[in-house]
A and B are shown apart, each in its own frame.
Chain A
Amino acid sequence: MTTSNRKISAPRPHPETEHFWQAASDGLLLLKKCEACGQVHHYPRAICPYCLSDRTQWIEASGKGQVYSYSTMGKEDAAYTLAFVTLDEGVTMLTNLVDCDPKELSIGASVKVVFKPSEGGPAVPMFTLAHLASTVPEPAG
């Protein structure tokens, strides 16, 4: 079981990323979208890495995605899983896969964001297998 026993070092926000971490503590995963060129990027910058416009806006991500790659390191309680998850919005982010047995993981598996407390800092977005996440059922049809 990859759990969240590992102490998560606190992210140190920059002025341009404070909103991202505040939202994470509120249970929202945000991305940056450029109003000038329309591209979504991650990690978030004040300046668009595609066109250098400063007209970048926060958008709310669905929190859903698929495992792009992952690796479990460490033994027993110290084990944790580093991963890249490709979000439905098209960007891939570095993260951890948590609250699931590493043996159940696979590339392409559907995952959903969960937020884990850091040591003295904001909550950190991580992912767990979508079928294990406690979610509000999707509306029928």
Chain B
Amino acid sequence: MSIKGKAYIVGAYEHPTRKADTLSVARLHADVAKGALEDAGLSKDDIDGYFCAGDVPGLGTASMVEYLGLKVRHMDSTESGGSAPMLHVAHAAQAIAMGKCDVALITLAGRPRAALASLALKPPDFDTPDLQFELPYAPATQNLYAMVAKRHMYEFGTTSEQLAWIKVAASHHAQHNPNAMLRQVVSVEDVINSPMVSDPLHRLDCCVISDGGGALIIARPEIARSLKRPKIRIIGAGEAPKNSMAGKVDLTYSAARYSGAAAFAEAGLTPADIDYASIYDSFTITLLVQLEDLGFCAKGQGGRFVADGKLISGIGKLPVNTDGGGLCNNHPANRGGMTKIIEAMRQLRGEAHPKVQVANCHLALASGIGGALASRHVAGTVILERE
């Protein structure tokens, strides 16, 4: 049994704000839910399934279902950090295929910038078995990704200049996005001359901290066909964990190796078929490792694959993150998955900015990493097709 073609993404909306001084987290979730419903041409009462992750206030789905006044018969609060929206799209398609709901709403929102929150999401849970063996060493998000970059450089000869090209491409795209947080085009030199945050990652290797969010509406094929928007089918998905493997640590690959393979197998496609890719870029290295693991290039060749503008729409072979990605556009709630799927929707609908729109975009992939790349994370990959 497969989800291929069993459900469609019929609505997508990204909140325009990047600093939500006067908007609560619940309000942000409501704003994006409303925006996605309007985009789809559906109303609140059409929703009978709700999906969210740990960025919602309250217990799982409970508080937001109440705030939004939803009447649902299916709920899922699968939490995998920044990749959760990819898992939610897949799980919504599964639920729809099983007849558990007809129209699913997925929301993601947060205001870490306005709240001046650190990257630590919540107080530590001291029952977590790994915590006592990690917290004394002060792992932060930055150094847990930097160690992957350091090892990648050691194993494969990847350079800081190659990583910098990922940021350069993001900035080329972001200049055309009026809502992007950073719209100035930067050079390789700008990146490698920016302050070192955690060796070898510089400040411009890191994504922005921004407020806002996004939402998606997933629906049964019959409902999708009754709507006026372009028909975007979910044709493949995969999810996979990776961790320190009881001490057999290997930082050269991510769980996207498995989530990507599963998604391509379900879709019956290969990376060469993909017209556009949204790939989570919490740091430049996050995107580079996923490109390899998803099979867009051989392991170790990511540096060459991204160099010299090869990710820039209209220039490179594989346009990636044409909204400016997390590196330049938006990283709401410290989670990059939702905005990745939304830009893939824009590309498939032909509604990306004309300067970055991929011609004849029929097949798109969105992939993300939630958690910490070096210690433990969950990858999610979805493949979408314009009918």
Contacts and interface: CB of A to CB of B under 8 A. Distances in A.
Partners in one complex: yes
Interface of A: 6, 8-14, 17, 21, 39-43, 45, 49-50, 68-73, 80, 82-84, 86, 90-96, 102, 107, 118, 124, 126
20 contacts: A6-B138, A9-B136, A10-B136, A14-B129, A39-B246, A42-B133, A42-B246, A43-B133, A68-B151, A69-B147, A69-B154, A71-B149, A84-B147, A91-B246, A92-B244, A93-B247, A94-B244, A96-B138, A107-B154, A124-B136
Nearest to A71: B146
A45 B133 contact: no
Contacts of B244: 43, 92, 94
Contacts of B138: 6, 8-9, 80, 82, 96
Nearest to B148: A69
A8 B248 contact: no
Contacts of A72: 198-199
A80 B198 CA distance: 10
Nearest to A21: B132
Interface of B: 126-127, 129-140, 142-144, 146-151, 154, 197-201, 244, 246-249, 251, 374-375
A53 to B, nearest CB: 13
Contacts of B140: 73, 82
A49 B210 CA distance: 38
Contacts of A49: 246
Contacts of B200: 71
B154 A90 contact: no
Given A6-B138, A45-B129, A72-B198, A92 B147 contact: no
Contacts of B198: 71-73
Contact of B251 (A8, A42, A84, A118): A84
A41 B245 CA distance: 9
Given A12-B126, A43-B130, A107-B154, A71 B247 contact: no
Contact of A95 (B130, B137, B151, B246): B137
- Residue from B132, B134, B198, B251 with most neighbouring chain A CB atoms (10 Å): B132
